[in-house]
Amino acid sequence: MTNGLASLRDPTVAAFLARARVAHLATADARGQPHVVPITFALVDGRLYSALDAKPKRVAGRQLKRVRNLLENPRAAVVVDYYAEDWSRLGYVLLSGRARLLDAGPEATAALAALRARYPQYAAHPAHLAAATLIVLEPERVVVWGQLGPP
């Protein structure tokens, strides 16, 4: 296990995160009630971005439980993991820190471009990100565990 923000610059960790297609975002409300959802993501300059895109949801983006939680409690975590039946090949990267919402500006433009480049679905359906709010996780702690090499 390695620990620390420097691990995000480690080529093995960076490659593992680049291969991953999905992560899981954990938030908690003011009372500490946890909530975990799968997300798409992109890393830009050491920050993790996930869009509240236009894919169908039960409520509008700003009313989602993860957003309400972040407004009450900005602490969040994201885990990116790899599972294999051969348990000697398991691995994960856990990022935790403060999260914030971002709607516009140069930082948002760069993050949206990274998401479009990473996920062809966004490039094929530009409307999905047209008015997207972003969740930005500013990692304060990174935990790396297990085998992160190619599957």
Q: Average pLDDT of 17-40? A: 96
Q: What is the pLDDT of residue 131?
A: 76
pLDDT digits (tens, 9 = 90+) for 36-93: 999 999 999 999 999 997 654 455 556 789 999 999 999 999 999 999 999 999 999 9
For the chain, which residues make up each domain, given as ranges?
2-146
Pick 2-146's CATH classification: 3.40.30.10, 3.30.70.380, 1.10.10.10, 2.30.110.10.
Answer: 2.30.110.10
Q: Percentage of the chain with pLDDT > 90?
A: 75
Q: Which residue has the higher pLDDT, 5 or 101?
A: 101
Rounded Cα distance, 19 and 50, in Å: 16
Show the CA angle centred on residue 60, arms to residues 54 and 61, nearest 5°: 65
